[in-house]
């Protein structure tokens, strides 16, 4: 198996060197990528060491801030003109202490509060610091959504109502026939999917098997074997596989990897100071549903970028729509889902397993960024931080 991993890594490198993502019919050719997006290859390791869901607490704390040493990915340099994060009025001392106590209780490695134009709170734990990057897990989905908006703005994707099969023809004849790009953006395709992280036979757990068996065709091969359980647009089901599919749609339409496109459409205009690392798949492209790494400050810069409307890189009003409750959760009034953003009462945000999040409160010009090492992938800690963010929003 160790040798097999080495072969997989080599194939990924070869795919990047000679990769052609293709360009959607009827749009202009791919833009030239900005300079110095590089492929990073980790040391060869036994695949048993790469099972993230089974890392212990110590391994997670160490490896979440050093994913570049464990997985292949694209290294995107810092913006040519990083955005400074001004120092704001500190939060009241009692509230700051509550945040630090909750950090300790929930295994948070870093928390930053940006409010009314300045950083009002910033603290770190678990050996993590301001110059290090921490993995995002599904926070990456909201980055992929932003690149989807950019591809629409640039004309590479004609409409969110285009069929998915226009951009990923390999899914023709599958349950994705008749499904629109908008419906995969809101996870309402009607295609069945099991996202149970504790079930080794679930669809999300089987993604690794498809990579081993099908290599560059893994995502298409897995998705085209799924069944439809509802008509498109009628049922919401959380599906990491479909965000990977959004990544394919974008890369096929634009002709660049997500990381290369993100350099032009997110990293530069948002002014990231610490660059970006985004894990690659066997095609040499990036994993749309997961696995980019950022400094805590750059998590916050992404939130500010969304709060301010995206600097002209996405259609006018994109974030207002993407962060709106396009799907309402009947069991949780006020909560829902937009275009790969979770929506909450008066706010919206990006979430990732083990406690990563960016929460944006437009009415208060507030962004709260959190990176963590929870003991389990999901749990009650999210609710505790919702309550804390409410206190922060109400603070003077």
Instruction: Kindly give the interhelix angle for 381-394 and 93-106, rounded to the nearest 10 degrees.
Output: 170
pLDDT recorded at residue 35 = 63
Task: Classify residue 62 by burial, with Cβ atoms within 10 Å: 0-12, 13-18, 19+.
Answer: middle
Q: How far apart are the first and last CA of the chain?
A: 56
pLDDT recorded at residue 20? 34
Contacts with 140 (C-beta within 8 Å, 6 or more apart), sequence order: 243, 278, 287, 288, 289, 290, 291, 292, 352
Contact between 273 and 83 under an 8 Å Cβ cutoff? The reply is yes
pLDDT given for residue 223 in this prediction = 96
Looking at residue 165, what is its pLDDT?
98
CA atoms within 13 A on the CB side of 193: 25
**Is the pLDDT reported for residue 13 higher than 50?**
no
Higher pLDDT, 2 or 241: 241
Cα–Cα separations (whole angstroms), residue 391 to 38, 65, 371, 384, 387: 42, 28, 19, 11, 7
pLDDT classification of 23: cutoffs 50, 70, 90: very low
Evaluate if pTM is beyond 0.85: yes
User: Would you state the structure tokens that stand for residue 331, as one six-digit string?
Assistant: 């069991």
User: Tokens 């275009």, residue?
Assistant: 339
Q: Where exactly are the structural domains of the chain?
A: 2-88+132-316
Residue 206 CA to residue 199 CA, distance in Å, equals: 10
| Interacting residues of 383 by C-beta distance below 8 A, sequence separation 6+ | none
- Phi, psi values for residue 43, rounded to 5°: -60, 155
Pairing between β-strand 356-361 and β-strand 108-115 as defined by DSSP bridges: unpaired
SS in 3 state form for the chain?
CHHHHHHHHHHHHHHHHHCCCCCCCCCCCCCCCCCCCEEECCCCCCHHHHCHHHCCHHHHHHHCCCHHHCCCEEEECCCCCCCCCCECCCCCHHHHHHHHHHHHHHCEEEEEEEECCEEEEEEECCCCCCCCCEECCCHHHHHHHHHHHHHHHCCCCCCCCCEHHHCCHHHCCCCCCCCEHHHHHCCCCCECCCCCCCCCCCHHHHHHHHHHHHHHHHHHHHHCCCCECCCCCCCCCCCHHHHHHHHHHHHHHHCCCHHHHHHHHHHHHHCCCCCEEEEECCCCCECCCCCEEECHHHHHHHHHHHHCCCCCCCCCCHHHHHCCCCEECCCCCCCEECCCCEEECCEEEEEECCCEEEEEEHHHCEEEEEEECCCCCCCCHHHHHHHHHHHHHHCC
Of residues 210 and 309, more confidence is placed in 309
Q: How far is Cα of residue 372 from the mean position of the Cα atoms in its chain?
A: 15
Q: Which residue has the higher pLDDT, 213 or 369?
A: 369
Least confident among 203-212, 246-255, 294-303, 348-357: 203-212
Lowest mean pLDDT among 105-109, 206-210, 285-289, 392-396: 206-210
Alpha carbon distance 355, 137 (integer Å): 9
Does residue 371 have a pLDDT over 80?
yes
CATH class held by domain 2-88+132-316: alpha beta
* 176-205 average pLDDT score: 94
Q: Which residue has the higher pLDDT, 30 or 246?
A: 246
pLDDT of residue 234: 95
Q: Mean per-residue pLDDT for 347-374?
A: 97
Across 19-23, 105-109, 320-324, 377-381, least confident range: 19-23
Confidence class for position 198, pLDDT limits 50, 70, 90: confident
Under the banding of pLDDT at 50, 70 and 90, the label for residue 282 is confident
For residue 261, the number of C-alpha atoms closer than 13 Å in the C-beta half-sphere is: 32
pLDDT tens for each residue of 61-99: 999 999 999 999 999 999 999 999 999 999 999 999 999
Mean pLDDT computed over 18-34: 46
| pLDDT value of residue 6 | 35
Task: Give residue 200's pLDDT.
Answer: 85
Distance CA 16, CA 19 (A): 5
For the chain, percent of residues with pLDDT exceeding 70: 91
> pLDDT digit string (tens) for 129-177?
999 999 999 999 999 999 999 999 999 999 999 999 999 999 999 999 9
């Amino acid at each position: 198996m160790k040798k097999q991993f080495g072969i997989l890594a080599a194939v990924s490198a070869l795919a990047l060197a000679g990769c052609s993502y293709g360009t959607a019919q009827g749009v202009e050719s791919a833009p030239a990528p900005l300079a110095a997006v590089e492929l990073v290859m980790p040391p060869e390791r036994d695949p048993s060491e790469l099972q993230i869901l089974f890392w212990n607490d110590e391994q997670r704390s160490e490896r979440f801030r050093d994913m570049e040493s464990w997985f292949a990915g694209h290294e995107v340099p810092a913006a040519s003109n990083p955005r400074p994060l001004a120092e704001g009025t500190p939060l009241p001392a009692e509230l700051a202490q509550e945040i630090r106590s909750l950090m300790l209780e929930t295994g948070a490695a870093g928390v930053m509060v940006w409010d009314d134009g300045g950083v009002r709170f910033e603290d770190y734990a678990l050996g993590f610091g301001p110059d290090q990057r921490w993995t995002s897990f599904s926070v990456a989905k909201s980055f992929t959504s932003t690149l989807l908006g950019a591809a629409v703005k640039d004309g590479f994707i004609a409409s969110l109502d285009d069929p998915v099969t226009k951009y990923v023809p390999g899914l023709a004849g599958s349950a994705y026939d008749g499904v629109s790009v908008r419906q995969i953006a809101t996870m309402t395709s009607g295609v069945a999917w099991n996202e149970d992280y504790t079930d080794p036979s679930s669809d999300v757990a089987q993604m690794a098997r498809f990579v081993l068996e099908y290599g560059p065709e893994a995502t298409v091969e897995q998705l085209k074997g799924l069944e439809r359980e509802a008509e498109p647009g009628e049922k919401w089901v959380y599906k990491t596989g479909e965000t990977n599919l959004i990544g394919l749609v974008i890369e096929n339409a634009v002709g660049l990897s997500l990381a290369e496109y993100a350099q032009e459409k997110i990293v530069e205009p948002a002014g990231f100071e610490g660059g970006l690392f985004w894990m690659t798949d066997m095609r040499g492209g990036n994993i749309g549903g997961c696995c980019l790494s950022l400094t805590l400050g750059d998590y916050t810069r992404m939130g500010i970028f969304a709060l301010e409307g995206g600097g002209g890189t996405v259609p006018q009003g994109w974030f207002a729509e993407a962060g709106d409750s396009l799907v309402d959760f009947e069991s949780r009034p006020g909560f829902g889902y937009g275009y790969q953003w979770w929506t909450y009462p008066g706010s919206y945000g990006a979430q990732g397993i083990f406690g990563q999040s960016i929460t944006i409160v437009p009415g208060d010009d507030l962004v709260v960024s959190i990176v963590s090492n929870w003991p389990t992938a999901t749990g009650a800690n999210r609710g505790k931080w919702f309550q804390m963010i409410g206190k922060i929003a109400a603070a003077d």
